[in-house]
Amino acid sequence: MKLNKKFIYDGKRIIKVKTRELYHFIYERIWDLTIYDQKLLESYGLKKAKYVYVGQSNEKNVNIRNSKWKYEVKNDRNIVKEIPIFIKKLERFYAKETKYNNRQIDWLLYHNTKVIARTESKKGALKLEKHFTGIYHDLDFMGEILEQQVILLSKRDSEFKEQGKQGLKVLKAKELCYNS
């Protein structure tokens, strides 16, 4: 597909080609457990905090990304091991201690995604993902000093691969910040 070379993407509009969104997006998933009793949460291995996951994707749209993420979590595929453990604890908590039905629990666990930015390239999406992850990492590092604790489920130092003329190059978070 060819675009007009004068076209500049402002980062806000959703531009679609049929059902496919044209640009990469950065999203966050937040599970806010600050409204529940601390002792009750601790009995399920959870803390009274906001749990946050930040990611990026170039899937057709957010719904497809949510479905893929749900499959990855349920089947322990290509995902950090802490996330499926957290999701199972949270699912057990919601099922036993709240009045949510199965459909509501499913939505709370796998579909509560908010798109926070869009970019034209995968490299730009990865840089923004590192930026947002860094912000939440700093809040997570503050730990229990903050009134509302934030627990980051994403990994800040995750790697990504870039294909160049010299072959495959693995970039770390620090390299992403300084290479533009």
For 5-20, the pLDDT digits (tens) are 444 444 445 556 666 5
Residue 9 lies in a domain: no
Residue 101 lies in a domain: yes
What letter does residue 118 receive in the DSSP assignment? E
Q: Which residues contact 62 (CB under 8 A, 6 or more apart)?
A: 25, 27, 113, 115
Residue 77 lies in a domain: yes
Residue 12 lies in a domain: no
Residue 42: domain span: 17-178
- Evaluate if pTM is beyond 0.85: no
DSSP letters spanning 68-104: HHHHHHHTT-SS-THHHHHHHHHHHHHHHHS---HHH
| Residue entry with tokens 């947002």 | 132
* pLDDT per residue rounded down to tens, the chain (180 residues): 344 444 444 444 555 666 655 677 888 999 999 999 999 999 999 999 889 888 888 777 788 888 898 998 888 887 888 889 999 999 999 999 999 999 999 999 999 888 888 777 778 777 878 877 877 777 777 665 556 778 878 764 444 444 444 443 333 333 333 333
Domains of the chain: total:
1
Residue 5 lies in a domain: no
